[in-house]
């Protein structure tokens, strides 16, 4: 299956900035920023700037002029687009995620304070086409999850789990298999939702069927909804092959259209695709379909609330190229919307952000190792750089605790 990689264009944010400064402002800001960081920038002539010493990560500027113009025109998109275009790269001996970690660790302080007043000029609102309306959600989900089942199968573990695994904290990571850790994650969230024999389960976001299969193996009946036609087709194949076609129904349906009553509602890393505008709708629907005495468990990527408030109105590289319409919530936002708009209450939270860093590291390692098998599916080198940056960028965020992930159990307040 072929895919169209989004075209990279340089459109100035500051009006005539491309003409007037040609990236000079961005260059000065970057030099000032890296001066206090454990990282080095290396120019084509060998000149280096930055606060890192020997052994620190090195970023090679292949086309520094183009890179700084991109940053000046699109501060929140230019770095990733520059990597996609080959304007910069990790130097030999430097891992890309390791190179990005010093930036992720200082994410809230990268822009000098005097320039924060220009946030309204720099930030761009999410395009209206990416709003998660019924139609918009179908388009947004398809843009990522319908790329190719073969693409995802090439780098995911045999469970086809595209969310954070949970590793055993009592054992060295090197001794642990990713598949084992993914199974542990699935079983943990089924436990959190109290899924057992004869449970009526609603899964919001099917993935490729692993959670539904394991719920059915416990004796539950499952309705699983997805907006990805590609995922649904393979999930149904996998469910049938496991012998649970009579216990699991996979629907190509928006969560807002679900009706019925369920003892358990489970949703793994789907809330990130809901959009702030619809968080209330999402939790109210869960509250509506949850049977008396039922339980809810969601796995959610999280950020600190102050970072959510600072960035929620802006449009970044991840939204443009990877997850259209996406927004990562905070734990505070989840608590507030459920408290104020539903009868659901958070009962417990289990965070494991560093496990996501390890999960992403393994995905990227396998993706790169399997590139010779992925490329014939119709993906080009720009796509490869885009996915390398995406996986490394996210790994850096979790490794430095800028991002977290948690399994969250909720129940109705009268049942607590």
pLDDT (tens place) for every residue of the chain, 416 residues total: 444 444 444 344 343 344 446 788 889 999 999 998 999 999 999 999 999 999 999 999 999 999 999 998 888 899 999 999 999 999 999 999 999 999 998 875 555 554 444 444 455 666 666 777 777 787 778 878 888 999 999 999 999 999 999 999 999 999 999 999 999 999 999 999 999 999 999 999 999 999 999 999 999 999 999 999 999 999 999 999 999 999 999 999 999 999 999 999 999 999 999 999 999 999 999 999 999 999 999 999 999 999 999 888 788 899 999 998 889 999 999 999 999 999 999 999 999 999 999 999 999 999 999 999 999 999 999 999 999 999 999 999 999 999 999 999 999 987 65
Report CA torsion sign: 97, 103, 105, 107.
Answer: negative
Report pLDDT for 19. Answer: 42
Crossing angle of helices 381-399/78-85, nearest 10°? 140
Chain segment 238-294, per-residue pLDDT in tens = 999 999 999 999 999 999 999 999 999 999 999 999 999 999 999 999 999 999 999
Following DSSP, what letter does each residue of 348-415 receive, concatenated? EEEE-HHHHHHHHHHHHHHHHHTHHHHGGGT--HHHHHHHHHHHHHHHHHHHTTSEEEEEEEEEEGGG
Helix (H, G, I), strand (E, B) or coil at 200: strand
What's the CATH code, domain 130-415? Answer: 3.40.50.150
Q: How far apart are CA 71 and CA 176, in angstroms?
A: 40
Crossing angle of helices 229-241/210-217, nearest 10°? 30
Report pLDDT for 1. Answer: 40
Q: Can you give the pTM of this predicted structure?
A: 0.91
**Residue of 338, 149, 126 whose CA lies nearest to 226:** 149
Q: Which two tokens stand for residue 360?
A: 């992403």
Pairing, β 290-303 against β 403-412: antiparallel
Show the DSSP H helices in 35-177 as ranges: 64-73, 78-85, 96-105, 113-116, 119-122, 134-145, 149-155
Q: How far apart are CA 187 and CA 126, in angstroms?
A: 36
Q: How far apart are CA 218 and CA 195, in angstroms?
A: 7
Q: Which two tokens stand for residue 136?
A: 């918009």
Q: How far apart are CA 127 and CA 405, in angstroms?
A: 27
Ordered by start, the domain boundaries in the chain are 17-122, 130-415
Q: Which fold has domain 17-122?
A: Nonspecific Lipid-transfer Protein; Chain A (3.30.1050)
Report pLDDT for 125. Answer: 60
Q: How far apart are CA 233 and CA 238, in angstroms?
A: 9
Report pLDDT for 313. Answer: 79
């Amino acid at each position: 299956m072929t895919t169209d990689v989004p075209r990279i264009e340089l459109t100035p944010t500051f009006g005539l900035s491309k003409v007037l400064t040609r990236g000079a402002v961005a260059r000065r800001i970057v030099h000032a920023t890296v001066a206090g960081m454990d990282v080095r920038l290396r120019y084509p002539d060998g000149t280096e700037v930055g606060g890192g010493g020997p052994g620190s990560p090195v970023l090679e500027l292949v086309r520094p002029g183009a890179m700084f113009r991109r940053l000046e025109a699109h501060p929140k998109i230019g770095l990733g687009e520059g990597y996609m275009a080959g304007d910069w790269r990790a130097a030999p001996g430097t891992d890309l995620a390791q190179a990005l970690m010093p930036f992720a660790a200082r994410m809230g302080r990268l822009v000098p304070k005097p320039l924060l007043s220009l946030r309204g000029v720099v930030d761009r609102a999410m395009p209206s086409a990416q709003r998660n309306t019924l139609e918009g959600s179908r388009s947004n989900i398809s843009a990522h999850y319908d790329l190719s089942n073969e693409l995802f199968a090439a780098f995911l573990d045999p469970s086809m789990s595209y969310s954070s695994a949970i590793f055993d904290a009592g054992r060295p990571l090197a001794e642990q298999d990713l598949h084992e850790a993914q199974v542990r994650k699935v079983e943990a969230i089924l436990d959190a939702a109290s899924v057992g024999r004869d449970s009526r389960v609603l899964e919001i976001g099917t993935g490729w069927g692993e959670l539904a299969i394991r719920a059915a193996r416990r004796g539950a009946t499952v309705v699983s909804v997805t907006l990805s036609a590609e995922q649904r087709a393979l999930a149904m194949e996998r469910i049938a092959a496991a012998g649970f076609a009579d216990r699991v129904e996979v629907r190509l349906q928006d969560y807002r259209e679900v009706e019925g009553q369920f003892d358990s509602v489970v949703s793994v890393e789907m809330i990130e695709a809901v959009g702030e505008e619809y968080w209330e709708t999402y939790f109210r629907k869960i509250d509506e379909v949850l049977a008396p005495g039922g339980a809810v468990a969601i796995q959610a990527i999280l950020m600190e609330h102050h970072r959510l408030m600072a960035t929620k109105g802006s449009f970044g590289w991840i939204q443009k190229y990877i997850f259209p319409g996406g927004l990562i919530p905070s734990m505070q936002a989840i608590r507030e919307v459920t408290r104020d708009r539903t009868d659901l209450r958070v009962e417990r939270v289990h965070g494991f952000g560093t496990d996501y860093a390890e999960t992403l590291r393994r995905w990227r390692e396998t993706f790169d190792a399997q590139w010779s098998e992925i490329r014939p599916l119709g993906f080009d080198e720009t796509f490869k750089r885009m996915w390398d940056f995406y996986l490394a960028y996210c790994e850096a965020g979790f490794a430095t605790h800028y991002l977290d992930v948690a399994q969250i159990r909720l129940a109705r307040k009268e049942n607590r």
